[in-house]
């Protein structure tokens, strides 16, 4: 009994540490991520700029993204997406097209690092599943 309690306590500590430090333990199911996202777009990164740390913001990068297609959320031509500079942060590349699942985090659009976002050439399967979920197949 004592050994079991130690093992359970140890596992709880490891899991809590992973959650606290933003580690992805699994990719969120597509249907759940679609429901929980504030916006889902297909967009092309047009530029980026470094954002230094300040009293109201972490250091990171703001990416200006042209919205090629809105899947969910308000229609807009461009969005600024913030990515904090951390070990498993989400880096985007200018000129590349992405499928992005976004959340509004205190006025900043951010990509779910543990989700289904990625470059369009990587996300063909996810796009087919999105079309199926939308009933457009």
Predicted pLDDT of residue 15: 39
**Distance (Å, whole) CA 99 – CA 109:** 14
Predicted pLDDT of residue 23: 63
Pairing of strands 39-51, 97-105: antiparallel
| Structural domains of the chain in order of their starting residue, each with its CATH number | 28-133 (2.40.50.120)
The answer to whether the pTM exceeds 0.85 is: no
Predicted pLDDT of residue 86: 76
């Amino acid at each position: 009994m004592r050994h079991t309690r130690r093992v359970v306590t140890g596992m709880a500590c490891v899991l809590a540490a992973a959650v606290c430090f933003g580690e992805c333990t699994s990719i969120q199911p597509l249907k759940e991520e679609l429901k929980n996202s504030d916006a889902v777009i297909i967009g092309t990164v047009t530029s980026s700029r470094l954002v230094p740390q300040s009293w109201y913001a972490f250091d990171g990068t703001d990416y200006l993204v042209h919205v090629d297609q809105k899947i969910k959320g308000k229609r807009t031509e461009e969005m600024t997406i913030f990515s904090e500079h951390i070990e498993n942060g989400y880096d985007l590349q200018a000129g590349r097209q992405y499928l992005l699942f976004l959340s509004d985090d205190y006025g900043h659009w951010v990509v779910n690092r543990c989700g289904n976002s990625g470059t369009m050439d990587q996300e063909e399967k996810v796009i087919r599943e999105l079309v199926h979920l939308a009933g457009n197949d």
